Chain A
Amino acid sequence: MKTVCLYFQVHQPWRLKKYRFFNMGKDHNYLDDLLNRSIMQKVARQCYLPMNALLLKLIKENKGKFRCSFSITGIAIEQFRAYAPEVLESFRALAETGCVEFLAETYSHSLAALASKEDFTAQVKLHMAAVKKEFGVKPTAFRNTELIYSDEIGEMVAGMGFRTMLAEGAKHVLGWKSPNYVYANAIDQKLRLLLRNYKLSDDIAFRFSDKGWDQWPLTADKYAAWLASEETPGDVINLFMDYETFGEHQTADTGIFEFMRALPKALLAKKNGLEFATVSEAAKKYQPVSVLHCPHTMSWADEERDVTAWLGNELQNEAFSKLYAQKDKVAALKSADFDYVWSFLQTSDHFYYMATKWLSDGDVHSYFNPYDSAYDAFINYMNVLSDFIIELDKAVAAKAAKSKKK
């Protein structure tokens, strides 16, 4: 019996408005409210709501045999609250079925794991609290932003008490090994790793509607046969993808919803010997076959499967280092207003927009990208960050003056 582990990533960044030098010092509203609202409501209409309804129906029909996992970033939750509360409701309904697991991750979909342990821990704690509040569950498995993983990051995650973590089944890390087994972190072997089967995941996420693909059109039966076949050996097949795949990246007219509607039945057919499990269930069920050595950071992004999409050029490095240099001041200030801005400025998407490596993955980079160029993205981000730093310094100075008086 092979286990199929479906995991969906839900995220929308707070997009910044056009913030000019002339705004600095006067205007501290950094967000493009109209753009954020219209994108959120569009994606809710085309993806979140119909897909959640479909999953709920599938769970009920299959009486607990269909199971899947989610991670929803804190920033996405904030936007649901603001613009689409009915989406939150539908996720709660999924949570109540007991067939859906919610994972922990960084609150802001941030790169904090690459900044420092303190930043990382703070972000994860924040997210855990948000998940507990919204869905009433305490996550036990972890997925880092964009599946960014290394031995050290795994060790930090294990240190926070998690027993399961997701990572990319990257070819340059796995070598001849298969992603379809449970592995263990090289430093702390108590942490089990589920590795994404990028080929089978991307068959749905990227290639589903590609008419130039020799396997098009993809049907649920064909896909189930691939999973069941001896060509796909192993214990657990990890299909990890963006939730926006359904209805957004693959629009409704491609037949993606019909595909998903038919998938559980096709997979669960007796002859296939397949079952569904959530992330933690799958990791518990199988013993790790080996430790996975991953000294260098990897991710699920782009052909390179590394972090160069976010920290690959001097613009991104500069913005990143200037941002995290503010950490101590923000922490010392303990102001809800500053914490809020601090949180959304960390979102990895801001850095993604500054990427200059637009080759094979340009399409994905330009998706929902509000900027004309990496340079525009950088200028705008730095203007916002500069204003934030000015206000932060003022607030820190005011607080210091106050405490002196006392």
Chain B
Amino acid sequence: MFGWEFPPHIAGGLGTACYGMTRGLARNDVDVTFVMPHAYGDEDQRFTRVVNASDVEALYGSTGSGADDILQKMSFIHIDSNMVPYISPEEYASYHEEFVKSGERVWSTSDVWKQRYTFSGKYGANLMEEVARYAVVAAQVAKELEGQFDVIHAHDWLTYFAGIAAKRVSGKPLVVHMHATEFDRSGENINTQTYAIERAGMHAADRVIAVSNLTRNIVINRYGVPAERVVTVHNAVRFAENSGAAPERGVDDKIITFLGRITYQKGPDYFVEAAAKVLKRVPNVRFVMAGSGDMMNHVIRRVARLGIADRFHFTGFLRGEDVHKMFQLSDVYVMPSVSEPFGISPLEAMRSNVPVIISKQSGVAEVLDYAVKVDYWDVDALADAMYSLITYPALANMFSSKGLEEVTNLKWNDAAAKIKAVYEAAIAENKNDNQ
């Protein structure tokens, strides 16, 4: 499986999803060799390394009891690369430029909210080069592992070339997993190179897994992939034991939270406009926007202009325990995404007993009944839903208790079973083709 770094080294839901999925697969008796990019910098000249499962586990903290048997079914390979999930070719170029200018090997943005990127001269000068370089190394890995795997699974377009290369070398079937399409990330103004890679990956694949029917439709209609090869497998949520008591609340007011990258795709604008409407009616509510992104400054200016900055707070990028804390402090969670292939964060909010409002344009809306669903552009409906959930306790209680029940039933084991079925179909078909 060509996946991504596990939590807490994540920039969004992709790492979380990979993590849950591999655990689920292990429970379904699937052995997983997990290949991921990991920037080592200059100190080590090996391109790949096999990483001890316990070392990987150590990256995200405690080993839960009973997890050991699962880890025995997994092995890990790091490919030295500085790719990170969600990076766009433009961003990559700007980071690279910064590296060339400053000559610093490790470059972290001055903005503390942002992720840290490790840069080194040996990585590709632009993202496309790095994607190609990654594919070359991946082919090597596939050759070395010959006979040790039956199917190749690649996540997100950055690893598609790697998947294709591995397939060519090994002749094994390829499954690609669409977590987000270029149309989700950029609206209609797509990056055509990215689109081309996504398209090539899906057409080369024996099966395409889409995280929602929404995404499946995009894959079929806009990428021209035959419908029978595209399967929807909804994401699930890992039910981690909630760590102890809820953090002490500092403020008495109700808290309505937005948590995610502050980018066009996530619809932060609509959250702000709805917040202003709610604040006109009820004084005892505060809004929190947690995350960072290219629209953050724009949103701050808008909040200032609306004159609600004393009740609208920004936390910057949150990670690990802080995310959990933020959910626990929230009375309502809102995900007003303009376009969201799946959207795992509402599930995490529901797990913390928080009622959620999600946009109808999100994949997660397909699997949830106990969430308020509105059109992302319908600011009035969004404001109305916020108002109701903070004003009528009965409603909020119903959503949070039923929601918890609902989300508890979304298990990675079940999702992984579906993925396993996809593997089996791909393998069977591949065998038939070869005969």
- Decide: A372 and B111 in contact? CB cutoff 8 A: yes
- Decide: B250 and A25 in contact? CB cutoff 8 A: yes
Q: Which A residues are CB-close (under 8 A) to B310?
A: 322, 382, 385-386, 389
Q: Does A229 contact B (CB under 8 A)?
A: no
Chain B, 129-170, CB within 8 A of any chain A CB = none
Given known pairs A26-B248, A372-B111, the reply for A315 and B300 (CB within 8 Å) is: yes
Q: Which A residues are CB-close (under 8 A) to B300?
A: 315, 375, 378-379
- Decide: B315 and A24 in contact? CB cutoff 8 A: no
- Decide: A318 and B304 in contact? CB cutoff 8 A: yes
- Decide: A315 and B304 in contact? CB cutoff 8 A: yes
- Decide: B288 and A21 in contact? CB cutoff 8 A: yes
- Decide: A21 and B301 in contact? CB cutoff 8 A: no
Q: Which B residues are CB-close (under 8 A) to A383?
A: 313
Q: Does A360 contact B (CB under 8 A)?
A: no
Chain A, 300-338, CB within 8 A of any chain B CB = 313-315, 317-319, 321-322
- Decide: A390 and B251 in contact? CB cutoff 8 A: yes
Q: Which A residues are CB-close (under 8 A) to B288?
A: 21
Q: Does A42 contact B (CB under 8 A)?
A: no
Within 8 Å by CB of A315, from B250, B301, B329, lies: B301
Fill in one digit per residue for B322-349: 1 if any A CB lies within 8 Å of its CB, else 0: 1001000100000000000000000000
- Decide: B250 and A319 in contact? CB cutoff 8 A: no
Q: Which B residues are CB-close (under 8 A) to A373?
A: 111, 297
Interchain nearest-CB distance for A63 vs B (Å): 53
Q: Which A residues are CB-close (under 8 A) to B313?
A: 21, 24, 379, 382-383, 386
- Decide: A22 and B315 in contact? CB cutoff 8 A: yes
**A317 CA to B309 CA, complexed, in Å:** 11
- Decide: A319 and B251 in contact? CB cutoff 8 A: no
Chain B, 84-132, CB within 8 A of any chain A CB = 110-112
- Decide: B309 and A21 in contact? CB cutoff 8 A: no
Fill in one digit per residue for A373-396: 1 if any B CB lies within 8 Å of its CB, else 0: 101001100110110011000000
Interchain nearest-CB distance for B31 vs A (Å): 42
- Decide: B311 and A321 in contact? CB cutoff 8 A: no
Fill in one digit per residue for B7-34: 1 if any A CB lies within 8 Å of its CB, else 0: 0000000000000000000000000000
Q: Does B314 contact A (CB under 8 A)?
A: yes
Q: Which A residues are CB-close (under 8 A) to B304?
A: 313-315, 317-319, 378
Q: Does B224 contact A (CB under 8 A)?
A: no
Interchain nearest-CB distance for A386 vs B (Å): 5
Q: Which A residues are CB-close (under 8 A) to B281?
A: none
Q: Which A residues are CB-close (under 8 A) to B329?
A: 22
Q: Which A residues are CB-close (under 8 A) to B315?
A: 20-22
- Decide: A314 and B305 in contact? CB cutoff 8 A: yes
Q: Which A residues are CB-close (under 8 A) to B301?
A: 313-315
**Chain B: interface size category:** 20 to 34
Interchain nearest-CB distance for A172 vs B (Å): 28
Q: Does A23 contact B (CB under 8 A)?
A: yes
Q: Which B residues are CB-close (under 8 A) to A318?
A: 303-305, 307, 309
Within 8 Å by CB of B250, from A22, A317, A382, lies: A22
Interchain nearest-CB distance for B275 vs A (Å): 14
- Decide: A321 and B307 in contact? CB cutoff 8 A: yes
Nearest residue, chain A, Cβ from B304: A318
- Decide: B309 and A322 in contact? CB cutoff 8 A: yes
**A26 CA to B322 CA, complexed, in Å:** 16
Chain A, 133-154, CB within 8 A of any chain B CB = none
Nearest residue, chain B, Cβ from A388: B310
Q: Does B249 contact A (CB under 8 A)?
A: yes
Q: Which B residues are CB-close (under 8 A) to A26?
A: 248, 250
**A383 CA to B252 CA, complexed, in Å:** 15
Compute the total of residue contacts between A and B using a CB distance below 8 Å.
68
Fill in one digit per residue for B345-364: 1 if any A CB lies within 8 Å of its CB, else 0: 00000000000000000000
Fill in one digit per residue for B193-237: 1 if any A CB lies within 8 Å of its CB, else 0: 000000000000000000000000000000000000000000000
**A378 CA to B310 CA, complexed, in Å:** 11
Nearest residue, chain A, Cβ from B313: A21
Nearest residue, chain A, Cβ from B301: A314
Interchain nearest-CB distance for A265 vs B (Å): 47
**A106 CA to B63 CA, complexed, in Å:** 59
Fill in one digit per residue for A5-22: 1 if any B CB lies within 8 Å of its CB, else 0: 000000000000000111
**A322 CA to B307 CA, complexed, in Å:** 8
Q: Does B367 contact A (CB under 8 A)?
A: no
**A318 CA to B300 CA, complexed, in Å:** 11
Q: Does B296 contact A (CB under 8 A)?
A: yes
Given known pairs A26-B250, A315-B300, A372-B111, the reply for A379 and B314 (CB within 8 Å) is: yes
Within 8 Å by CB of A378, from B112, B251, B309, B316, lies: B309
Nearest residue, chain B, Cβ from A386: B310
Q: Which B residues are CB-close (under 8 A) to A382?
A: 309-310, 313
**A21 CA to B258 CA, complexed, in Å:** 14
**A21 CA to B310 CA, complexed, in Å:** 11
Q: Which A residues are CB-close (under 8 A) to B110?
A: 372
Q: Which B residues are CB-close (under 8 A) to A315?
A: 300-301, 304, 309
**A382 CA to B305 CA, complexed, in Å:** 14
Nearest residue, chain A, Cβ from B286: A386
Q: Which A residues are CB-close (under 8 A) to B251?
A: 24-25, 390
Q: Which A residues are CB-close (under 8 A) to B250?
A: 22-26
Q: Which B residues are CB-close (under 8 A) to A313?
A: 301, 304
Q: Which B residues are CB-close (under 8 A) to A23?
A: 250
- Decide: A25 and B249 in contact? CB cutoff 8 A: yes
**A317 CA to B248 CA, complexed, in Å:** 33
Q: Which B residues are CB-close (under 8 A) to A24?
A: 250-251, 313
- Decide: A22 and B325 in contact? CB cutoff 8 A: yes
**A338 CA to B301 CA, complexed, in Å:** 29
Interchain nearest-CB distance for B127 vs A (Å): 26
- Decide: A319 and B296 in contact? CB cutoff 8 A: no
Interchain nearest-CB distance for B434 vs A (Å): 57
**A25 CA to B315 CA, complexed, in Å:** 15
Nearest residue, chain A, Cβ from B109: A372
Task: From B305, B311, B313, name the one whose CB has the most chain A CB atoms within 10 angstroms.
Answer: B313
**A315 CA to B300 CA, complexed, in Å:** 8
Nearest residue, chain B, Cβ from A380: B314
Q: Which A residues are CB-close (under 8 A) to B309?
A: 315, 318-319, 322, 378, 382
Interchain nearest-CB distance for B333 vs A (Å): 15
Chain B, 270-325, CB within 8 A of any chain A CB = 288, 296-297, 300-301, 303-305, 307, 309-311, 313-316, 322, 325
Interchain nearest-CB distance for B187 vs A (Å): 24
**A20 CA to B300 CA, complexed, in Å:** 15
Question: Can you give 23 A-B contacts (C-beta < 8 A)?
Answer: A22-B325, A22-B329, A25-B250, A25-B251, A313-B301, A314-B304, A315-B300, A315-B301, A315-B304, A315-B309, A318-B304, A318-B307, A322-B307, A372-B110, A372-B112, A373-B111, A373-B297, A375-B296, A379-B314, A382-B309, A385-B310, A386-B311, A389-B310
Task: Please list the residues of chain B having a beta carbon within 8 angstroms of any beta carbon in chain A.
Answer: 110-112, 247-252, 288, 296-297, 300-301, 303-305, 307, 309-311, 313-316, 322, 325, 329
Given contacts A319-B309, A385-B310, 6 further A-B contacts (CB under 8 A): A22-B315, A22-B325, A315-B301, A317-B304, A318-B305, A372-B110
Task: Please list the residues of chain A having a beta carbon within 8 angstroms of any beta carbon in chain B.
Answer: 20-26, 313-315, 317-319, 321-322, 372-373, 375, 378-379, 382-383, 385-386, 389-390
6 A-B pairs with least C-beta separation: A25-B250, A318-B304, A25-B251, A314-B304, A26-B250, A21-B313
